Structure 1
Amino acid sequence: MAPSKKRSVKPAKGAEKCIKTAKIDLVSTVGRILESSKHGNEVFDVFEFLQFEKETNVITAVNACSSLFCTLLQRKELFRGKLPAEDDALSGDYSAVDKYHIFMRHRYNNCVEMLLEHLSHELHEVQEASLCCLMKFAAGEGQDPLEDLDWSEHYSFPRELIQAVVDRLVSRTTDKSLLISRFHEFLEKEDVRYYVMSSIRENMGQVMEKSKGEVMPVYQHNVFTLMSNISIPKEELELSNFMVTQEAKHEDWKAAKLIEHKRTFERMWLAFLKYKLPSNMYKKVLVILHDAILPHMSNPTLMIDFLTAAYDVGGAISLLALNGLFVLIHQHNLDYPDFYKKLYNLLDPSIFHVKYRARFFHLANLFLSSSHLPVYLVAAFAKRLARLALTAPPTALLIVLPFIYNLIRRHPSCRVLIHRPSSEDELLEDPYLMDEDDPARCHALESSLWEIKTLQRHYHPDVAKTAMLINTPLSQKEDNISEVLEITTFELMERDLKQTSKKSIPLEFETATQLLKVGKDVMGQHFCLE
């Protein structure tokens, strides 16, 4: 039977206190509603709990809503098709059953709206409960669609509900990282992931158009956090975990095709990267670009403009762009004429102190591993690193010196930097031009690695020992620099302390008997206290 009358969704004044006193059992309330349509109006009692301030009441109401409407969806007791206005339905030519279904469909919509608002609740537990409930609704709608959908393209997926959830997750004012991490579980479903990617792109188009592309740190952080949780399967056969399952999937359903996943993934990231990003966000993207973005794109070469622009920025951003450029150069035949010139100019004193030092030297080692590089270029890198080594910390020197030795091993023509024939007129100045940007004009081949000779008197014994290797013929086997790329000053000190703890260190001193009097009163002869 149809409900007796329409009630307001919002609780009346004092309702919270009255309901608390009465201790209404929501489980029993839901049971009565599901048992008979004559109890339909009791759904408002559940909604009143849903709008309380106390956390336990809200979460209890969310669970009650989940149980109620998931069951109604399964029973197909919610009106399907274009939903008429509630007043029109009550006065129109509908059967009592249809009127009840229309009434509950409107209540379902009210519930969804309140749960979406709770995704911005001040308590994370309420946000999480609401999110899980909404995703249960999405699964229920997927099995029994409430609207007539375009089956040839979208199958029966509730994309509008997913779009609404995504819109709340990428808030413009509140950091949603914690809730997004909970949402990661649902991204394991192939169809959810596909429509989430589409929803992110659509949301960015609307938000960034209104803001005219200006930097929006909180919003862009939320979008990045959500996107960085998305990864695409490598093989078509891996697309097997769907939220919406039916006996026979339509052949044209895009969410079931790997190529469509890759295209949507690609469009999503390109839409994000076409707008101006904060510096810290720029770095976060570049850190994951080579292994979490490029491999999942249908056409990775579309990132060429972004990476080359990042490579030209300078500083840490240029260092981080190396990873992506390495993938494009070696796997997608990217031609970058001035690449080595730019790499050469990245070598400055700050390279030894940045967070991404290990990553840079690992990639630089790969880029300079080819035996077909011109000798002047290799000599320029070796000489510039040697010059920078004069002011580098010990941890960096333990990377740089083996790095230079490996360059010389790969290119025997560079041995002239070590064994330059003596001439009648000894060079009074080093011909190498440190300020020259072009490695072809810096005169590195006309110079020598006297800097390494200088480092043989370094205060740190490990550095001095490594620098001494240049006095002997270098072995053919290259040094494995990966072992020292991540070494820190703390680790270096710990290693030295362990070595010295096994030895007895001789000390010579005379015990002081009083202030400024030591032994033969040498201090007292030269200093006095007034």
Structure 2
Amino acid sequence: MASKKQKKNEDKYSLSDLKTLGHQLLSSRAHINNLPLLLSFITPSTRPKYALESLLSLQSFFLPLLPQLPSSTHSVSQNDPEFIYRTWVRSKFDDFVQYLLDIAICSESNEALREVVLDTLMEFVKVGNGGKFHSAIYHRLLDRVVHSSLDVHDVLLDLLSSKYFKYIDIRYFTYISFKKLSQRIGAKDISDDRREGLDTSGVNQPESSLDLSVLKLYHLLSHIPPLEGSDVKSNYDMWNAAGIFTGKENEKGHTGKQCKDEATNIKVLSPANIAKKMKLRFSKAWISFLGLPLPVDLYKEVLVNLHQVVIPYLSNPLMLCDFLTRSYDIGGVVSVMALSSLFVLMTQHGLDYPNFYEKLYALLESSVFMAKHRARFFQLLDSCLKSPLLPAYLAASFCKKLSWLSLAVPPSGALVIVALIHNLLRRHPSINCLVHQEGGNETTTDIKSAESGADDSTNVSSPSRVKSSMKTGIDPFDDKQTDPLKTNAMRSSLWEVDTLRHHYCPPVSRFVLSLENDLTVRAKTTEVAVNDFSSGSYATIFGDEIRRRVKQVPLAFYTATPTLLFPESDFLGWTFKLKDKDSTAVLDNTSKENGHFSAKRSRGESS
């Protein structure tokens, strides 16, 4: 019904008629009835030219009157005709704002018209509250945008962040609104009983309209530029100079730590006080946002950027300890991403996190060497193990676990492992015994007695019993153990690193050979930069190899044409029998030459 009426109005009035109606409205109160008529053209379904013409006329009409209009909540209890008139105009202004919001959040509206609508709304925000910042209109705008069906990368969100987030007062009220929006979204989520879709991390799994709202909330929040500084020389642009950062004179007429804006003769708070207020609002906005059930992808993105875009600007970074410890306890990739921020809190803000190294040890799995953010993890792992105060058993457990993983990781991971092990051996001379520890030095009886702590005579075994119980060639290291204290790493050796000397990938074998130095003398060696290998992959290894200048090319020279793909000496001790219809080919290992088995080929006719 409304669309038919709208079409009828568009057929009845031309653009020139609308322009005339606007001029009449601006010229005299006698044409105040033109106001509802012009308002009827401010709809998403109106043709853009008609809506734009009406919008410009109404904007010119309302802007000068806004400081004089009563509040929307003011009740009409006076018989003053002037007051009744202004109250009625105020109600029409509220309708106008509502119509503008409808156009702004409609993705089917003309983009140029939506940009004009946004600018009009922000002009009302600027002077709508008696000449001061109208935070209510601004909050309504953000609320409609966040809870609309607009895409995260809609042009309206980009315009809002690019054109207006440079103003310090708009950022301030944005943080205030974001805290309210986060609380509202969290309350709605609880009321809808959507907690069943959450895992133990609080990460929301299914996609929904609330997930879209959270994504848009993060998109806007992450596009607010950080505070430039808090020194006296800092100058902040303000959307409304008479806003929240205006100083108040004391009884003696002085403003204390406030500075004076010469252009507008307005006393403004000092940059230090502004920075203090901004940090407080920034912290509350982010803490409220992190309390929401975040979608999985967004949860990971927040963890990756938290130590760079959030922690440096918080009033008290330790407020994030609960969020980060919950994330770190999840395990897997999420724990790897939470490690960066947790490390910053521990090293720079004095966070005491119990069982940190036990959790870090549990993250050492083969999957982490193929994770997207593995480079940052390896750099932090190297930094966390740099302290010379680490116990020997802890350093040995990390060293042995990395050595164990080198057998199952890609070549790029093996390069990182060798670099990490080299640094650990150099920093902790007490574990250099792992480099070459003969097997069989300890018996099962010794191990059991050491673990039980018993030293009575019943545990003493005879030499023949000790000799029979020796486990030659068995690694005592327990790779399934999650407690570094119980891995038996100090009884093991780094035999896995020795196998890397014969790795199929030449860069790995070359790197291992290049690090075969006397690690017991620390002055002879230097630490390896882990970041040079942390982001490696098959592609980087291949690229480095094809760029290498090869001085000697390996050639295969045969005096006679080979008849076998592999030489017989490669299969010492094996016997192969190949039977077909006509003959039987036999490879045996019955003869010995120089103490070694040699396989000979014999042919026999079929029986």
Report which stretch shifted further, 32-41 or 277-286: 32-41
Displacement after TM superposition at 1:65 (Å): 2.4
Percent identical pairs in the alignment equals: 28
Cα pair 1:9 1:47 within 8 Å, conserved:
no
Q: Which residue of 1 aligns with 2:159?
A: 182
Q: Which residue of 2 aligns with 1:430?
A: 475
Displacement after TM superposition at 1:165 (Å): 0.9
Q: Distance in 1 between matches of 2:85 and 2:242?
A: 28
Q: Distance in 2 between matches of 1:224 and 1:106?
A: 34
Does 1:362 pair with 2:352? no
Q: Which residue of 1 aligns with 2:92?
A: 107
Cα pair 2:22 2:58 within 8 Å, conserved:
yes
Match of 2:165, SS state, is helix
Cα pair 1:384 1:434 within 8 Å, conserved:
yes
Q: Aligned match of 1:42 in 34, 37, 55?
A: 34
Cα pair 1:190 1:241 within 8 Å, conserved:
yes
Q: Distance in 1 between matches of 2:181 and 2:41?
A: 32
Cα distance change, pair 37–491 in 1 and its aligned pair in 2 (3 A): farther
Q: Distance in 2 between matches of 1:236 and 1:206?
A: 36
Q: Distance in 2 between matches of 1:481 and 1:59?
A: 61
Cα pair 2:437 2:493 within 8 Å, conserved:
yes
Displacement after TM superposition at 1:273 (Å): 2.4
Q: Distance in 2 between matches of 1:344 and 1:488?
A: 23
Query: Letter of the aligned partner of 1:69 in structure 2?
Result: Q
Highest Rg: 1 or 2? 2
Q: Which residue of 1 aligns with 2:121?
A: 134
Query: Letter of the aligned partner of 2:95 in structure 1?
Result: N
Q: Aligned match of 2:369 in 352, 365, 379?
A: 352
Cα distance change, pair 307–14 in 1 and its aligned pair in 2 (3 A): closer
The CA RMSD measured in Å over matched residues stands at: 3.5
Query: Letter of the aligned partner of 1:473 in structure 2?
Result: D
Does 1:250 pair with 2:247? yes
TM-score normalised by structure 2 residue count:
0.71
Q: Which residue of 1 aligns with 2:510?
A: 465
Query: Letter of the aligned partner of 1:175 in structure 2?
Result: D
Q: Aligned match of 2:402 in 362, 385, 388?
A: 385
Q: Aligned match of 2:137 in 158, 161, 168?
A: 161
Match of 1:456, SS state, is helix
| Cα deviation digits, residues 276-319 of structure 1 (max 9, x gap) | 33322321221121121122211111211111111100011111
Displacement after TM superposition at 1:476 (Å): 2.0
Cα pair 1:290 1:324 within 8 Å, conserved:
yes
Q: Which residue of 1 aligns with 2:215?
A: 221
Q: Distance in 2 between matches of 1:394 and 1:43?
A: 74
Displacement after TM superposition at 1:113 (Å): 0.6
Cα pair 1:287 1:320 within 8 Å, conserved:
yes
Q: Which residue of 1 aligns with 2:70?
A: 81
Does 1:284 pair with 2:284? no
Q: Distance in 2 between matches of 1:232 and 1:378?
A: 41
Cα distance change, pair 182–504 in 1 and its aligned pair in 2 (3 A): farther
Q: Distance in 1 between matches of 2:73 and 2:187?
A: 33
Cα pair 2:439 2:473 within 8 Å, conserved:
no
Does 1:191 pair with 2:169? yes
Displacement after TM superposition at 1:500 (Å): 7.4
Q: Distance in 2 between matches of 1:407 and 1:243?
A: 55
Displacement after TM superposition at 1:499 (Å): 3.5
Q: Distance in 1 between matches of 2:351 and 2:241?
A: 42
Q: Aligned match of 1:493 in 519, 527, 542?
A: 542
Report which stretch shifted further, 183-192 or 379-388: 183-192
Q: Which residue of 1 aligns with 2:431?
A: 414
Q: Where do residues 36-75 of structure 1 align in structure 2 (5 Å cutoff)?
A: 36-51=28-43, 53=45, 56-57=48-49, 60-61=52-53, 65-66=55-56, 68-69=58-59, 72-73=62-63, 75=64
Cα distance change, pair 133–504 in 1 and its aligned pair in 2 (3 A): farther
| Cα deviation digits, residues 357-410 of structure 1 (max 9, x gap) | 111101111111112211221111111111111111122222221121111111
Match of 1:432, SS state, is coil
Query: Letter of the aligned partner of 1:462 in structure 2?
Result: P
Cα distance change, pair 60–426 in 1 and its aligned pair in 2 (3 A): same
Cα distance change, pair 471–246 in 1 and its aligned pair in 2 (3 A): closer
Q: Distance in 1 between matches of 2:40 and 2:213?
A: 32
Displacement after TM superposition at 1:423 (Å): 7.1
TM-score normalised by structure 1 residue count:
0.81
Report which stretch shifted further, 493-502 or 114-123: 493-502
Q: Which residue of 1 aligns with 2:278?
A: 261
Report which stretch shifted further, 263-272 or 336-345: 263-272
Cα pair 1:9 1:44 within 8 Å, conserved:
no
Q: Aligned match of 1:204 in 182, 185, 188?
A: 182
Instruction: Extract unaligned runs of 5+ from structure 1.
Output: 1-7, 146-155, 510-525
- Report the structure, 1 or 2, having the larger strand content: 2
Cα pair 2:168 2:238 within 8 Å, conserved:
yes
Q: Which residue of 2 aligns with 1:305?
A: 322
Match of 1:337, SS state, is coil
Instruction: Extract unaligned runs of 5+ from structure 2.
Output: 195-203, 205-209, 250-267, 442-469, 559-579, 582-607
Displacement after TM superposition at 1:452 (Å): 1.2
- Report the structure, 1 or 2, having the larger helix content: 1
Cα distance change, pair 430–119 in 1 and its aligned pair in 2 (3 A): same
Displacement after TM superposition at 1:504 (Å): 7.6
Q: Distance in 1 between matches of 2:66 and 2:149?
A: 38
Report which stretch shifted further, 491-500 or 322-331: 491-500
Q: Distance in 2 between matches of 1:298 and 1:343?
A: 28
Cα distance change, pair 13–69 in 1 and its aligned pair in 2 (3 A): closer
Query: Letter of the aligned partner of 2:247 in structure 1?
Result: H
Match of 1:24, SS state, is helix
Cα pair 2:501 2:510 within 8 Å, conserved:
yes
Displacement after TM superposition at 1:66 (Å): 4.8
Q: Distance in 2 between matches of 1:225 and 1:71?
A: 35
Q: Distance in 1 between matches of 2:172 and 2:235?
A: 11
Report which stretch shifted further, 352-361 or 465-474: 465-474
Q: Which residue of 2 aligns with 1:322?
A: 339
